[in-house]
Every structure is written in C-alpha cells, then in structure tokens.
Chain A
C-alpha cells in the first residue's frame, strides 16, 4: 500500500469523532495529500460504537482498510480501543482516552467493564494513554475532549507542518474556537 497512511478513529456515538475526522481531512487536503474517508453511521441514537477511517498519501484508492492495516488507532473510549485493535498494524501506535463509557450489558449488570484494557494494550502495542476527558473538564467544557484527542493524534502522526489552528478556526463556531485551541494544545502536550 505504498506510502499511504491509515488512521482509524473509534469511540462511542456522541463523542465528536466525525468532526475530528472532518478537520483532519481538511488539514491533510490543504497539505496537498490525496485523502479518502469512510464513516459508518446510520442510527441517530447516541451510544453505539462508531468508527471512521481516514487514508492519505499520494494516491489513495480504497477508502476502507482491513485488519492489520491502520498505522494509528485513536480511541475516544478505553474498551473501544480493544474492540478495534485487530485493525492496527502490529507495529502501529495506539492513542487511547482513559475514559470508560459502560455499554448496555455492563449498565444492566450482565457483564463487567474489563479492568485491564490499558495494560493489555501496552503489552502488545506502543500505547499512549491520556485523560482527554479529564483535561477537557479542566479546560472548562467536557465536549472539547475530542479536540484534546485531535491534538494528541496530530502529535503522534508528526503532522506539525499543517496549520491546525487555522483549521479549527475554519470549522468551529466562532465562540467555541478559543476553548478548542486550548484543548488542541493540551492534547499536543499530554
């Protein structure tokens, strides 16, 4: 697959994944890459598992990837990282938000939230764990957690030559820009 890079973003409906993929693509396009993105959505409800795939390089054909092909997996929720891990290259990187959202079988007591996710990830993959949700709360708005993760993703990919602040300005409502710039920078630092 040559020099094409594959990014897999996963999480739970309502966490703001689609917006991050959109801004990621906007930045990559500006930098002159061929970009393709695929998202699976349908149900309007909040709470299901959500994924988007972003691929960029000189020339990209398929918009989707199979198992063992993502260069980086960014998970907005802890257990989701483990759910999608097979899609990562064995030498790929994981960026995971240390935040738990119990799914229905867990909420109803039929199953337990797995205790050892981070350790299990770390054992097999280069893993960066961050408290994006906590950081977002400290910044003043829990809903900026996605932008904290966006910052961490950009850092992990080394895409520093793109002006991401500009992208944030272009894609967010004016009154949300400043707080999200803070969130983005926080993500770059964590």
Chain B
C-alpha cells in the first residue's frame, strides 16, 4: 500500500516496522511530528515527551540497554543538550538497537543557528545515515537498526527540514517482530568506568573499521551510471534530489545514504571514472573534506555555498552558470514578521516591561522570543533553551560586581522552565543572584504546535498524569516570594513587576493564562470594538479579537468597549 507521508511521519512508520518499542523526544521544529505520529503505534511502542533532549536520549539509551530497539528524536540544537550521553554510549555499544534522529534546519527556518550535525557522528564516533525523502526515511531506519545491533554502535539518523516537512508517496511494509534482546548484567560493557572505557575505546576503533568496510557494500550507498557522462556527482540527502533535477541523465551519481564512515573505496572507484567530480552537500563540506583528505580530486565548496539550504536553482547557478529567468513587480512589499497572536497572554507581560526603565530582560526559546519584536521590543537577549534565567543571572552578577544598578529579569515559558530553566533558577537562589526569574506559564508548549509537557497534566500517549506547577517548584527550591499573576490584568501585572524590582529577598514571578490557540478552551464570549465617535484612527479586526481586553486597559480615551454577553 502507498501512502502520502511527510518525512517525519515516515520515520515514525519506520520505527514501527523496525520493531521499536520505546521512543522519547523533546519537541523542536522540524522534528516534532516524529513523536506525534509515533502515538499512532501506541499498541506497540511506548512513546514520551521528556522534559528535555538529554533526558529523552537517556531514556532511549536505557531502553536499549534493557533490550528494546529504541529511538530518540530532536532538533539539531537539541543534540547539543543530549551530547553528554551519546559520546559515551558510542563507547559502550548497544543491546537493543539505538537510533538518535537529528533534524537539522539549514536556512534556520525555525532555529537560532544552522549547525551541521553530521559532525556529531564523526565527533562522537557513531554510524551516520541520511535519507533523502519520505520513502527512504522509512526504509533506511530498518537498516539503521540492523547496523546498530550488528556493529554494536549507536546510529545518528540525520534529516533536514526539507526531508521532515516534504510529503511524498511511501510504500508501506509490515512490522518485523524482533521482540527484545534478553537483558544480561554486564559490568564490563555498560559501566563506563575509566578502566572499562579504555578498553571500549580500542574496540570502538575496530567497529568503525568494520563499518567502513560495510559502507563500501551497503545497500544505502548506490552508484547510478548514465551513458556518455563525464560528470560524476557524489551526494547525499536532499542534495541528491536537487542534483537530479539539475543534471538529470547528463551526469552519473554516487548517492550515499550511509555517510559515516564514508565508503572511501567506492568513492575512489566512482571518482576515477570521470573528468569532473562534484561533491554536492548542504551546509558544511563534511564529505568533501574527508574525500579530499583521502587524496581524491573533487570540487565542492569552491563553487557551492556552505551556508543556507540548497535548491536546484542555486546548484544550477553555482555549477552550470545558468540562471532561471524571473521577474519582479513594481510595488513596495512590507515585511511580515511573525508576531504574537492577537490576545496572546505574553503580550500583557511584555507590554508592562516595555514601560520599565533601567531594566534588562534575558529571553529564551519559545513564542515569547517574539517579545523582542517591535513595537514591544522587550527582550535584550535570546541564546538557547534555559539561558533565559541563567544568562540573566550572569548579567545581574556583572552589573552587581561592577557597581551598576540595572534590574535584570529572566524570562522562560512553562515547557522551557521544565526543560532547563529549573537549574538556572536554583543557581539564582543558591548563589544569591539579584535577578527575577519570570515563568510565562501558558499551560502548553506553544511554539512547536501545542505539545504536552510536565505542567499540562497529560502525557504524549494521552494519559492523565500529575501536573507540575512552576509555582510549587520555585517555592520548593527556595524562593521567598513567588508572585502569581494574570498577565492580561495590566494593573496587577505592573504591581507585581514593581514589587519584584523593590524586593530585598528572592522573588520570582509566574504569569498564568493559557495560550489562546489551545483547543477545547471555553470560547471568549465578548469582543472589543472601537467606538468610532471617540476614535477615528483605530479599529479592531473582529475575526482576530479574542476579547482579552488588554487594549481597553491601554487606551487612555476609553474609546474601546466590550460587546457580547458578559
């Protein structure tokens, strides 16, 4: 049977067919839908949203040690969070097969950087597999588990935004019932003491040698020869599809699906047949550097950009010098940056902060990153998950020791608080930081499209569970005052911020109001309108208004009224 699937959906299907029984992830674009689709197989696979990527990865590693085929999925920057366990698990090797899916985001469609995570395979010494479309995303995963178990090694499964979010037809298969590997206590294998690690280190080098030999014969690596061609193209992932689009049958291809260790014999043999050899890969010269180091002549990043995603157009221009004709039209196009939704609870907080002088606000990753956008402009920094609180701590210490009296706030969302905000919050009370952590609790993981988290009272698999309250956590770690406030009540919000700025003891703020896009919330019955006699310049789009009435509180002329049943 054939089905139209996104790459993410196909990975979930692949996990099912490969006999996976445990999957764990933390949501992050473009990886989120992998686990969302995993739930479709809940009769066979246990899946969970972990509080962060490191926990997700460790859960999957534990399951692998216990004998399950397991999978962990995350966005590229999530692998930075999860890096600690993987560098050691590659030394130890697996029991049940273990695959870590990294979803990279070339061009930063929804990310803070575009790091090329293929280097993690080389760095942590894992096998690397790169599918190029939905069919391969499913099929290659079955091979990934075989490799993981046969070579006793974790597999890094690297996809990109265009693989994850493109849809194409997939031929489905049956689930292979692999069951589980028996669990046998093995102190020498799974306990990473220095003595064991030293031995494992040597073994790992041998595994990589065996993997290189496999790579040369792997069904995932295929040469496609076309007649009378003098261009040979070595490529992987979506770049293969773009190359085919541009060169068609006027070139021959070495299409690599297993990309670390690289099949150097295969590459050498392929390259020897052509006058010109191109290495076409998105982002960094990961393959090219290794191929050149092996003494094989090829052309890559001399001509192809190492920044942003590729497309057929960019390739044609870079390698053939051809440009596709296109036209613009003569009008002024105004940018359309993403904005906080109408009625977003975060607005009330950021509006309040935008009026406060002599403050610095460290932000974090989530919808509330948009608090930085004009006209709010109420953030000073955004780095990575969790840094909202801890970077603010550093700023506060810097201001303190250098005698400046700027007040520092650190902002995280509920999901981000559970992800890695908690440790920062502990640092603040422990080391007596003079900063104010603010948890914007909107009862959901907003930006990635509404996933459950430890605060929502539901698991990924739809079961009811304990709903952790950031207020309780902050109190438990020692905050003297934890103020709870409705951010859309501007007066109360303002009072709380003032109280926080004047506090002499540890003070944290938790704003509470659900994201307006959460389904199944009771609908707002009232809307706001502008009375046209009082104001001629403003209007409220009734299809967008959710009746939060923040505008009423802001308007100095009482020109806005509520309509509808109260």
**Interface residues, chain A, CB within 8 Å of chain B?**
1, 12-13, 25-26, 29, 34-49, 60-69, 79-80, 82-83, 85-90, 103-106, 108, 110-114, 116-117, 120-121, 123-125, 142
Contacts and interface: CB of A to CB of B under 8 A. Distances in A.
A85 B525 CA distance: 40
Contact of A42 (B30, B166, B329, B336): B30
B207 to A, nearest CB: 35
B165 A38 contact: yes
B334 A64 contact: no
B218 interface: no
30 contacts: A35-B4, A36-B166, A36-B167, A36-B168, A38-B167, A40-B161, A44-B446, A46-B544, A48-B337, A49-B336, A61-B241, A61-B245, A62-B312, A63-B238, A64-B312, A65-B311, A67-B313, A79-B333, A79-B334, A85-B329, A88-B327, A90-B325, A103-B336, A104-B337, A105-B335, A106-B334, A114-B331, A116-B331, A120-B331, A125-B329
Contacts of A104: 336-337, 339, 373-375
Contact of A45 (B133, B327, B338): B338
- Interface size bracket, B side: 35 or more
Contacts of B342: 46
Given A12-B336, A45-B370, A64-B311, A120 B162 contact: no
B340 interface: yes
A48 B79 CA distance: 28
A163 B553 CA distance: 52
Nearest to B165: A39
B294 to A, nearest CB: 29
A108 B375 contact: yes
A143 B11 CA distance: 33
A93 to B, nearest CB: 13
Contacts of B328: 85-86
Contacts of A43: 29, 110, 338, 367, 447
A87 B329 CA distance: 12
B311 A66 contact: yes
Interface string B308-328: 000111101000000011111
B242 interface: yes
Given A44-B447, A62-B241, A104-B373, A37 B337 contact: no
A112 B333 CA distance: 9
Contacts of B324: 66-69
A36 B168 CA distance: 5
Interface string B362-397: 000001001001110000000000000000000000
A47 B336 CA distance: 8
Interface in B231-248: 238, 241-242, 244-245
Contacts of A48: 336-339
B329 A142 contact: no
B330 interface: yes
Contact of B109 (A40, A83, A116, A125): A40
Given A35-B4, A85-B329, A66 B312 contact: yes
Nearest to A143: B543
Given A45-B340, A68-B325, A40 B331 contact: no
A83 B374 CA distance: 21
A48 B419 CA distance: 26
B448 interface: yes
Nearest to A4: B245
A46 B341 contact: yes
Contacts of A25: 4, 167
A123 B330 contact: yes
Given A1-B245, A38-B165, A66-B314, A44 B517 contact: yes
B492 interface: no
B450 interface: yes
Nearest to A133: B543
Nearest to B344: A45
B499 interface: no
Contacts of A26: 4
Contacts of A112: 332, 334
Contacts of B242: 61-62
